[in-house]
Amino acid sequence: NAGVTQTPKFRILKIGQSMTLQCTQDMNHNYMYWYRQDPGMGLKLIYYSVGAGITDKGEVPNGYNVSRSTTEDFPLRLELAAPSQTSVYFCASSYSREAGEQFFGPGTRLTVL
Amino acid sequence: AQSVTQPDIHITVSEGASLELRCNYSYGATPYLFWYVQSPGQGLQLLLKYFSGDTLVQGIKGFEAEFKRSQSSFNLRKPSVHWSDAAEYFCAVMLGGGADGLTFGKGTHLIIQP
Q: What is the pLDDT of residue B97?
A: 55
Q: What is the pLDDT of residue B98?
A: 56
| A4 contacts on B by Cβ (under 8 Å) | 43
Q: What is the pLDDT of residue B99?
A: 59
Mean pLDDT of B12-36: 92
A33 touches chain B (CB under 8 A): yes
Say yes or no to pLDDT of B73 above 80.
yes
User: Confidence band (pLDDT; 50, 70, 90) for B102?
Assistant: confident
DSSP at B43:
-
Sign of CA pseudo-dihedral B105, A105, B95, A69: positive
Alpha-carbon distance of B29 to A24, in angstroms, equals: 33
Alpha-carbon distance of B43 to A18, in angstroms, equals: 24
B98 touches chain A (CB under 8 A): yes
Look at chain A and report how many structural domains it folds into. 1
In a domain, A109, yes or no: no
Q: What is the pLDDT of residue B17?
A: 98
Alpha-carbon distance of A103 to A38, in angstroms, equals: 19
Query: Which of B23, B38, B100 is the best substitution to test chain A (most A C-beta atoms within 10 A)?
Result: B100
A112 touches chain B (CB under 8 A): no
Cβ-contact A90, A5 below 8 angstroms = no
3-state secondary structure of B69: helix
Mean pLDDT of B64-81: 96
Cβ-contact B19, B13 below 8 angstroms = yes
Mean pLDDT of B80-109: 87
In a domain, A9, yes or no: no
In a domain, A16, yes or no: no
Q: What is the pLDDT of residue B29?
A: 75
CATH of the domain at A33: 2.60.40.10
Cβ-contact A4, A105 below 8 angstroms = yes
Domains of chain B: 3-113 (2.60.40.10)
**Domain of A62, in residue numbers:** 23-98
Q: What is the pLDDT of residue A96?
A: 77
Alpha-carbon distance of A28 to B23, in angstroms, equals: 32
Q: What is the pLDDT of residue B83?
A: 95
In a domain, A10, yes or no: no
In a domain, A73, yes or no: yes
Q: Which residues of chain A have pLDDT under 70?
A: 1, 97-100
Alpha-carbon distance of A4 to A92, in angstroms, equals: 7
Query: Which of A36, A43, A74, A91 is the best substitution to test chain B (most B C-beta atoms within 10 A)?
Result: A43
Averaged pLDDT of chain B: 91
Cβ-contact B50, B65 below 8 angstroms = yes
Paired sense of beta strands A10-13 and A108-112, if any: parallel
Q: What is the pLDDT of residue A98?
A: 66
In a domain, A13, yes or no: no
B102 touches chain A (CB under 8 A): yes
In a domain, A112, yes or no: no
Say yes or no to pLDDT of B31 above 90.
no
For residue A61, give every residue at least 6 positions away whose Cβ sits within 8 Å of its Cβ, in sequence order, or none: A46, A47
